[in-house]
Amino acid sequence: GLNIVVHCTSTNELEIHSLTAELESLKNPQGLGLSSHLDGLREENAKLKYRLNVLKRSLQEERSQCSKTMMNINQRLQEIFGEAIREACPDLENPPLAVTPNQQAKFGDYQCNSAMAMAQMMKSKGLKVNPREIAENIQKNIPDNELIEKTEIAGPGFINVHLKRSFVSKLLTNLLLNGVQPPPLESKKKVVVDFSSPNIAKEMHVGHLRSTIIGDSMCRLFEFLGYDVLRLNHVGDWGTQFGMLIAHLQDKFPNYLTVSPPIGDLQAFYKESKKRFDEEEDFKKRAYQCVVKLQSKDPAFIKGWNLICDVSRNEFQKVYNCLDIQIIERGESFYQEKMTAVVKEFEAKGLVEMDEGRKIVFAPGQQIPLTVVKSDGGYTYDTSDLAALRHRLFDEKADIIIYVTDSGQGTHFQVVFAAAQMIGWYDPNVTRVEHAGFGVVLGEDKKKFKTRSGDTVRLMDLLDEGLKRSMEKLKEKDRDKVLSTEDLTKAQRSVAFGCIKYADLSHNRINDYVFSFDKMLDDRGNTAAYLLYAFTRIRSIARLANIDEAALRKAAETTEVLLEHDKEWKLGKCLLRFPEILQKILDDLLLHTLCDYLYELATTFTEFYDSCYCIEKDRKTGEVVKVNMWRMLLCDATAAIMAKGFDILGINPVSRM
């Protein structure tokens, strides 16, 4: 739908740009110096201004008509108030622009709070101005627009904004006819998200679960917004531990080159080899020789390495299948060849220092150096992360690179990013390179999440436990008596995996969070269980009234969505905040904002449904007497936004639950 918008605004936009430039040049009539000429210019100026306003108005009308995309109302209000503030206080450099949804309905729908901050700014320049006066001045300068019904000034200088109901209604019709569309995209950026990233030969643990869920959801958001996304699994598949694993493989399965070794339990295999590595001096020596052979690409050793990686991959894939995760593996081994070049590049620019045989790099403003070559000539995490970053910037040509790992690695990435900027690989004002860290998972005793024996919890065990618990929950609700076996299994998986994902995503990722099946499967409060039931109920309203897709579609084309009842109005506005929510997450990568929004939407819908009859039935016969079609459309719009929200969170709702 983008080209339509671009097409229908471009000619007007261009004309607006050229007229604005002409007006600017008329403001500084330096070389003119002819007073007789000046009057003519003033008249010309007035005509231009008038023409400009006519154009701006028609551009707005076009925007609201020919755009398939969803309008970000908050952003649109910021444009309108930005213009009013510039007109009201042309001398103020970068005046603060604050527009937020109003918490209390009686004060209107949105609020502009810029006047107070502007008064502070002027005060610091020695100008005493009453914020209320500034607010009045802003109010006077609000340009003609399509969405504000009226504004009022309250308190010390808040400007309360009331939206036009007809405009909100038109946007809802737009949403029903075009589906949930992303906001317009200025340019299609390339995004690389580095997430999940377990280590070969070790079990995936709860930390990987967080990275996997959060990273997948970020990818889904970028994909919905229309970006080109590369989902990378930077697995630990290289390094010293492979020497020890291959040495153990040779002892335990000497014919591994001809017969595929039956490594059933890789975890146990890893533990055995680690024990030998720590206790047997000969074995340790051999392990180091194996590393050297592996690094020199000896075919027999590469084969052993591949075998171990494959067993591990199959284990990871079981988790990814449960959670519906798509990800491309590009492990540390992928960057091996590229590390030498990176070290040379830093050396050539004179950025490498020697330190007791190690080669280190100091980045400006960072306390800790990067070790790019160890004293034994080997490379480190620092080297491979630099090589990976360089590849993502220059070969993948990424505009945005996000690393989703635990917060403990924050400092490491800070130093890596600083070094990359120092050597000139990217400019942070142009390319967004960011570490999206997260806290640890705690057990219900508020200690780090472990099994009773103190081992890390196997992810597959955790997912299986989730399935068991969700089936108990469904049986408790007698769903097994009304659902077919197939629907019951679908509901079980949807609840189990939806709850595990939602519990993670609904907490601010920066904080630690307590993992509790009881809490996440509770169908009261802000949980996936509650939202999935609410969603199923909303979807069933039309079914119970015998209204099919085609009838809803026809109604969307012909019926105005009335917003006269205050609960209809509240729901309508809540639905249209969806693009604002996505914009906020795009800025700070905090997905709990979307969870909070979906919960608010579900509770706002419940208020609406309890106060406004969608269907009126005969008390005696229970027959449907009357269908209030515009309210059915509000139900439909709510289901559409919820479904898209679930999709971004990676939750799969089912039709019957």
Question: How does residue 4 score in pLDDT terms, banded at 50, 70 and 90?
Answer: very low
**Looking at the predicted structure, is the pLDDT value of residue 61 above 70?**
no
Q: Does the domain formed by 74-163 have CATH 3.30.1360.70?
A: yes
Residue 46: how many other CB atoms lie within 10 Å? 10
Residues of the chain with CATH 1.10.730.10: 461-649
Whole-number pLDDT of residue 142: 95
What are the distances in angstroms from CA 123 to CA 127, 133, 429?
5, 14, 31
Q: Name which residue leads in pLDDT, 241 or 510.
A: 510
pLDDT per position as a tens digit, 487-533: 999 999 999 999 999 999 999 999 999 999 999 999 899 999 999 99
Nearest to 425 by CA among 397, 405, 404, 402: 397
Cα 532 from Cα 542, distance rounded (Å): 17
Q: What is the pLDDT of residue 53?
A: 74
**Alpha helix (H) residue ranges in 131-205:** 131-140, 165-178
**Residue 264: is its pLDDT beyond 70?**
yes
What is the predicted pLDDT for the residue at 295? 87
pLDDT at 328 over 60: yes
pLDDT band at 36 (very low <50, low <70, confident <90, very high): low
The mean pLDDT value for 250-273 works out to 87
Closest to 366 in 3D by CA, of 430, 432, 424, 412: 412
CATH 3.30.1360.70 domain extents, the chain: 74-163
Mean pLDDT (whole number) for 319-324: 96
Mean pLDDT of 192-197: 97
Amino acid at site 388: A
Q: What pTM was computed for the model?
A: 0.88
C-alpha angle 236-242-247 in degrees, rounded to nearest 5: 165
Q: Is 10's pLDDT higher than 70?
A: no
Please give the Cα distance from 21 to 24 (Å, whole number). Answer: 5
Average pLDDT value for residue range 161-183? 95
Residue range 286-309: average pLDDT?
Answer: 93
**Higher pLDDT, residue 378 or 8:** 378
Residues 384-441: tens digit of each pLDDT = 999 999 999 999 999 999 999 999 999 999 999 999 999 999 999 999 999 999 999 9
Per-residue confidence band for 645, with pLDDT thresholds at 50, 70 and 90: very high
The answer to whether the CB of 230 falls within 8 A of the CB of 191 is yes
pLDDT at 3 over 50: no
The pLDDT > 90 percentage for the chain reads: 73
461-649 in CATH: which number?
1.10.730.10
Q: Which residues contact 32 (CB under 8 A, 6 or more apart)?
A: 38, 41
Three-state SS annotation for 201-245: CCCCCHHHHHHHHHHHHHHHHHHHCCCEEEEEECCECCCCHHHHH
Residue 67's pLDDT band (cuts 50, 70, 90): low
Whether residue 27 is predicted with pLDDT greater than 70 in this model: the reply is: no
> Judging by DSSP bridges, how do beta strands 158-163 and 110-112 pair with one another?
antiparallel
What pLDDT is recorded for position 138? 95
State what percent of residues in the chain have pLDDT above 70: 94
For 461-471, the pLDDT digits (tens) are 999 999 999 99
Question: Angle formed by the axes of helices 528-544 and 629-649, to 10°?
Answer: 150
Residue 444 pLDDT > 50, yes or no? yes
What does the CA dihedral 598, 600, 606, 611 come to, rounded to 10 degrees? -140
